[in-house]
Amino acid sequence: MKKIALHSILFLFCFSCQSPPERNCKDFNTGAFEFTSVVDGKEVTTSFIRTNSIEVDYFQGKQDSSTVRWINDCEYILKRINPKNRAEEKPIHIKILTTTDSSYTFEFNTVGETKKLRGTAFKKH
């Protein structure tokens, strides 16, 4: 019994020493960014510029704008300004999970849906 207790204490001690992932979300609240994803088997890049209240996306020669509503420093809601269909009317929830000096990893989903996707955006200099 003493061995089990000792192992449990050592296990907890080892894992409590790990530092949490870095999250300097404020560094990525505004600026110019790029996000690369795979669509229909092809790698495509979306560029976007975000201010505190507006995000302008550039994808395959088209421009689109959304309002930005910050929930906290690491989470925000995007809502298209001029949606072209019902799907585009639904807001998108974005949560920054981790940051580095030049990028952030995020998860996103349509508000009300449970399926979440992940991506990494890189700050353009």
What is this structure's pTM? 0.79
What letter does residue 28 receive in the DSSP assignment? Answer: G
pLDDT in tens, 77-118: 999 999 999 989 999 999 999 999 999 999 999 999 999 999
Per-residue model confidence (pLDDT) at position 7? 46
User: Are the C-beta atoms of residues 37 and 119 closer than 8 Å to each other?
Assistant: yes
Structural domains present in the chain:
21-123 (2.40.128.20)
Strands annotated E in the chain: 31-39, 42-50, 54-59, 62-72, 75-80, 92-99, 103-110, 117-123
* Rounded distance between C-alpha atoms, residue 47 and residue 31, angstroms: 11
Question: What's the pLDDT at 38?
Answer: 83
Q: 32-47: buried (b, 16+ CB within 10 Å) or exposed (e) per residue?
A: ebebeeeeeeeeeebe
Q: Are 107 and 117 in contact (CB under 8 A)?
A: yes
